[in-house]
Amino acid sequence: MSLTEITQGMSERVAKNGGIAGKVVTFDFGDDGAVRIDGTASPAAVSNDNGAADCRVKVSMADFIDIADGKQNAQMAFMMGKLKVEGDMGIAMQLGKILG
């Protein structure tokens, strides 16, 4: 799955489920790029901007895909160090509503 496909899928999920109101979340895939969900916009906007965020989730693209597909548990990935959260951990706890 490419960054473009991930971004499109995230756009569809955010259109259906909404973003986290008033917050910006970035999924940072390192050299593979980023997907940013801007919940300060109405409606929430999805882009590949890697700017400032209230919560930044650092994860490899492969691990993100496994989590999104339900092949890997996000909490387990966090415990194993495959997923790192910078910023507001409370926001990270709400990401299930977007990814679900």
Q: Nearest CA to 40 among 29, 28, 51?
A: 51
Q: Write down the pLDDT at residue 100.
A: 58
* Residue 74 reports pLDDT greater than 90: no
pLDDT average, residue stretch 17-37: 94
Q: How far apart are CA 13 and CA 10, in angstroms?
A: 5
Q: How many residues does the chain have?
A: 100
Per DSSP bridges, beta strands 83-87 and 45-47 are: unpaired
Average pLDDT, the chain: 91
Question: What phi-psi label fits residue 33: left (phi over 0), alpha (psi between -120 and 50 degrees) or beta?
Answer: left
pTM over 0.95? The answer is: no
Q: Write down the pLDDT at residue 64.
A: 92
